[in-house]
Amino acid sequence: MRHGDRVKKLGRKKEHRQMLLRNLCRSLFIHEKIRTTIGKAKEARRLADHLIEYAKSNDLAAKRTIYRFIPDHKLVKIICDEIGPRFTQRQGGYTRIYRLGPRLGDGAEMAILELVEQGDAGTIAARRKFIERRHVVEVESKKEKKKKEKEKKPKEPKEKKVKEKKLKEEVTKEKPSKKKLSRKKQAKKAKKEKKAKKRVKKKAKKRRK
């Protein structure tokens, strides 16, 4: 019996399977090339071709149907304005699959799913940053920061530096160093003082007697 054999279940329930295929298509339209297992690639290819067919018309109804599967306004606009017009001369076959062989570990058959007509690497990188809201921040090294600080500060003559060092040394010699006691040492010191006071009081009582 072939009941339920038309839909590849991919070892998942309906909701999980739908979200998996939508995420695969989303990453395919962002990067225009993804690497996954052969079963997932075949199922994602069906959905991707279906969405590109809608994107070729580039009207409001098509955008709404694409948004049902990929709920991202920015990406929907890119699919309809950039990816869809590439395939106006084609009547299907918008994606291709390359087999890569078994995966190390579980031996799953791997494949690459990509668009037949791809854009430049620069446009793909800019698209990824635009959709994922990534901002490239230039991190300065410690050496560069020190150089900039030195350039900003005015150079003082050596005589002034020598005089300042001598003054600092004299001040440190004059001031006796007071070491702060820790809490435990302070508590011990307080106990000793209390015991000493009690001894003095006992001695005073004995003398009165």
What is the per-residue pLDDT for 30? 92
pLDDT tens figures, 69-112: 999 899 999 999 999 999 999 898 999 999 999 999 899 999 99
101 burial (CB, 10 Å; 0-12 / 13-18 / 19+) is exposed
Does domain 14-132 correspond to CATH entry 3.90.1030.10?
yes
Tell me the residue type at 57.
Answer: S
Portion of the chain with pLDDT greater than 70, in percent: 83
Least reliable range by pLDDT among 6-10, 49-53, 154-158: 154-158
Q: Is the dihedral of CA 30, 33, 35, 39 positive or negative?
A: positive
CA distance 46 to 10: 14
C-alpha span between 48 and 205 (Å, rounded): 101
pLDDT one-digit tens code per residue, 143-202: 677 777 777 666 555 566 666 777 777 766 655 545 556 777 888 888 888 888 888 888
> Rounded to whole angstroms, how far apart are CA atoms 151 and 109?
59
Indicate the average pLDDT of the chain.
83
Question: Average of pLDDT values for 23-32?
Answer: 93
Which pTM was predicted? 0.59
pLDDT confidence of residue 136 = 44
Percent of the chain exceeding pLDDT 90 equals: 43
Domain ranges of the chain: 14-132, 181-209
Burial of 113 (0-12, 13-18, 19+ CB in 10 A): buried
Cβ(75)–Cβ(82) under 8 Å? no
